[in-house]
Amino acid sequence: MRTLRVALGERSYPIHVGSGLLGDAGLIAPLLAQKRAAVVTNATVAPLYLGRLSAALAAAGVDVIPVVLPDGEEHKNWQTLNLIFDALIERRAERRTTLIALGGGVVGDMTGFAAATWQRGAPFIQVPTTLLAQVDSSVGGKTAINHPRGKNMIGAFYQPRLVLADLDTLSTLPERELKAGLAEVIKTALIRDASFFGWIEANIGALLSRDVAALEHAVLRCCEIKAEVVAADETEQDLRAILNFGHTFGHAIEAGLGYGHWLHGEAIGAGMVMAADLSRRLGGLDEGTANRITRLIERTGLPIAGPAFTAERYIELMSVDKKVRDGTLQFVVLEGLGKARVRSDAPPATVKNTLSAWATASVPTLPG
Amino acid sequence: MRTLRVALGERSYPIHVGSGLLGDAGLIAPLLAQKRAAVVTNATVAPLYLGRLSAALAAAGVDVIPVVLPDGEEHKNWQTLNLIFDALIERRAERRTTLIALGGGVVGDMTGFAAATWQRGAPFIQVPTTLLAQVDSSVGGKTAINHPRGKNMIGAFYQPRLVLADLDTLSTLPERELKAGLAEVIKTALIRDASFFGWIEANIGALLSRDVAALEHAVLRCCEIKAEVVAADETEQDLRAILNFGHTFGHAIEAGLGYGHWLHGEAIGAGMVMAADLSRRLGGLDEGTANRITRLIERTGLPIAGPAFTAERYIELMSVDKKVRDGTLQFVVLEGLGKARVRSDAPPATVKNTLSAWATASVPTLPG
């Protein structure tokens, strides 16, 4: 087991990465303010891992309240969130009852938001079981649900007390989700670490075949980078926005297709190709580097073209995103591998050229 | 105009109390991060004050998004909260768009929670138009909605940038709401300032006849006391809990009757009589002082007896309140006028004696 720390003053917390962590309640139980915890998961993860985690906690004397949600981004809404609150009320959970998210990004975001708002704030622990959640969404304290017309529009910045990334859980991850998680690994390298990008190019085969050492390196390096960015800017005043590379386009793809058609990471795959293309048109990347990025996303098995909505539709979808400021669209662009910044001066005609080039996939299409 | 300050480090903010403040956009406009603001109010307050505030803001160049909610505690729920989000999405509000609550406690709590969670946190301003909101709920950053089975179960601590208490708005307040607001004035004195309690006894007639000087004194003194308590304990780790005097019983009354039957302040009136009685039984108050408290609540025109649910029903209702800790009910009790503390060791038999004595009003009964 390797341990990192997210440095946020009194809200600092550790990230443990390793094997066999789910069955080791000694990592969780000592942190509980009260020997009760709600373990929130979904119908896919529950049969695989809920028993193992619950049994370990129960053996440590913890009273476990299991909450099993339906699986999928299309359930990341008020109705599903209320299932968590209903269970907490039913079992008389208190303000000091800890909420543990066992699952991927959707479970983590919803459980975190439930913890942020249950009795105005209950303790929260992340146990991510997908690659995407281990490398990205479980770290940093962003929690949210979707509005029918905008992704993650309703949420809170709310830090967990602990992130427990058990690499063993990646063995059961569907192929499509593994690839979606790799999209965020590639993103993390692109915005902050050119040599890590080179490492991914060299090891994409090992990652796709779930080589444990390769996965461990990727998870650790992503958590390190994310922890560093989040520590510098917890509530996304400036620097943190670079973590959204590919996300302005990607969120438009998700919202336009309807949540649950493409996985988040798939939309981000195509979104990064678009963002790299835009960076090139704005002079931040040379053509060779932009092509290298597209090539790696393609080798990962992710879509490189977005759905063929019109440019106007993309712009409309992007206009309700959180990354709008004073009516101007903001894009994270690269200025070389490993260097990102936010630009709000991208000319609309240039954005449209990018969309003409890459918004070409037939709709609806389910990759994989 | 008088100005106080809530001292919370970088989240500090001013409270202005005075006349004619609604029409003075110079108090609000300079604070806006962006010249856009959603003014959230309800169907009762909108015809009275929305025009005045909106016109003043518009004259200062602010683009106003009006949001009019149905009136009443029974609407303090997800469905109504979503009306705010729908309007924000519809009008393409951004993360820096300020949410302004124009109304009483329900509008303030819901607008504050919407601000806390809109795009993970938007700026927020309170413009309380009821006595209850001016003396209590608009100050301190507690925001929430109700769960069908528990009051304020879902919410956040989220501080406003400004509280603007325009005393003129109290002139249109229904009699019943004026009295409900006085319940929180009495509570504030009871927990922290014996001489203020004496002042209320001497001036209850002036307060009930809406003497402006008396109301101004009451609002200012309550805001001072609340600001001091909140500054010492923003997220209710210990001291702040004393602000809940009468609320463990009061919330049970509200939940048991169904939200909207009694006003919050009415339930708190009866709840304080019960809490004073419990304090007496536990040795904190002598009989004369407990009677003085009951007498003042009665002179204010508030209910002094709770609905005649069984003791078991009260205890069941209280058990889902936020003030439960490790399964034990917590009560705020007085140890003399102006001194309060939290006790979790009240013997169940003593609590039942209090309920037998004061849970005697026929159900359902609508006072006023």
List, in sequence order, the alpha helices (H) in A122-193.
Answer: 131-132, 175-192
Residue A49 DSSP label: I
CATH number of this structure's domain A2-172, picked from the four choices 3.40.50.2300, 3.40.50.1970, 1.20.1250.20, 3.30.70.3270: 3.40.50.1970
pLDDT value, residue B368: 45
Chain A positions in Cβ-Cβ contact with residue B120 (cut-off 8 Å)? 142-144, 152, 155-157, 235-236, 322
Residue B206, pLDDT score: 98
Digit-by-digit pLDDT tens for chain B (368 residues) are 999 999 999 999 999 999 999 999 999 999 999 999 999 999 999 999 999 999 999 999 999 999 999 999 899 999 999 999 999 999 999 999 999 999 999 999 999 999 999 999 999 999 999 999 999 999 999 999 999 888 899 999 999 999 999 999 999 999 999 999 999 999 999 999 999 999 999 999 999 999 999 999 999 999 999 999 999 999 988 899 999 999 999 999 998 998 778 999 999 999 999 999 999 999 999 999 999 999 999 999 999 999 999 999 999 999 887 777 888 899 999 999 999 999 999 999 999 999 999 999 986 555 54
Q: Which residues contact A341 (CB under 8 A, 6 or more apart)?
A: A242, A332, A333, A335
Q: B157 CA to chain A: closest CA distance, Å?
A: 6
* Closest among B303, B354, B297 to B329, alpha carbons compared: B354
Catalytic residue (one of B251, B261, B322, B323): B251
**Which pair of structure tokens corresponds to residue A86?**
């209903």
Torsion of CA B18, B23, B25, B27, to 10 degrees: 0
Active site residue B266: no
The 10s digit of each residue's pLDDT in A15-58 is: 999 999 999 999 999 999 999 999 999 999 999 999 999 999 99
Distance CA A130, CA A146 (A): 20
Quick check: A141 pLDDT over 80? yes
pLDDT of res. A270: 98
Q: Which residue of A has its CA nearest to B117?
A: A155
End-to-end CA distance of chain A: 33
CB contact under 8 A, B319 and A85: no
What's the CA gap between B158 and A156, in Å, rounded?
11
Which residues of chain B lie closer than 8 angstroms to A320, CB-CB?
Answer: 89, 92
Instruction: Detail the DSSP E strand segments found in A189-326.
Output: 306-307
Question: What number of C-beta contacts closer than 8 Å exist between A and B?
Answer: 97
Nearest Cα neighbor of A102 from A37, A39, A153, A51 is: A39
At A136, list the tokens: 């990205």
Contact criterion met (CB < 8 Å) for B119 and A153: yes
| Pick from B216, B201, B223: nearest CA to B300 | B201
Instruction: Report d(CA B117, CA B103) in Å as an integer.
Output: 20
Computed over every residue of chain A, the mean pLDDT equals 95
CA distance B100 to B161: 10
Burial call B222-256: b when 16+ CB within 10 Å, e when fewer: bbbbbbebbbeebebeebbbbbbbbbbbbbbbbbb
Give every CB contact of residue B300 below 8 A, 6+ residues apart in sequence: B179, B182, B183, B186, B204, B208, B269
Tell me the average pLDDT across A118-134. Answer: 98
A353 and chain B: CB distance < 8 Å anywhere?
no
Catalytic residue set of A: 120, 142, 184, 226, 236, 240, 244, 247, 251, 264
Cα of A51 vs its chain's centroid, Å: 25
* Chain A positions in Cβ-Cβ contact with residue B116 (cut-off 8 Å): 156
Nearest residue, CB atoms, A85 vs list B116, B118, B153: B153
**Is A153 close to B96, i.e. CB distance below 8 A?**
no
Q: Which of B50, B79, B48, B49 is nearest to B67 (CA)?
A: B50
CA B307 – CA B304 distance, rounded (Å): 10
Q: Could you state, in order of their start, the residue ranges of all structural domains in chain A?
A: 2-172, 175-361
How far apart CA B105 and CA B126 sit, in angstroms, is 10
Within 10 A of B145 (CB to CB), how many other CB atoms are there?
22
- DSSP structure class, residue A75: G
CATH architecture of the region B175-361: Up-down Bundle (1.20)
Residue for token pair 């015809």:
B47
Considering only alpha carbons, which residue of chain B is nearest residue A96?
B325
Phi-psi region of A346 (alpha: psi -120 to 50; beta: other; left: phi over 0): beta
Q: How confident is the model at residue A368 (pLDDT cuts 50, 70, 90)?
A: very low
* Same fold yes or no, B2-172 and B175-361: no
Predicted pLDDT at A364? 57
Cβ–Cβ of A147/B118 closer than 8 Å? no
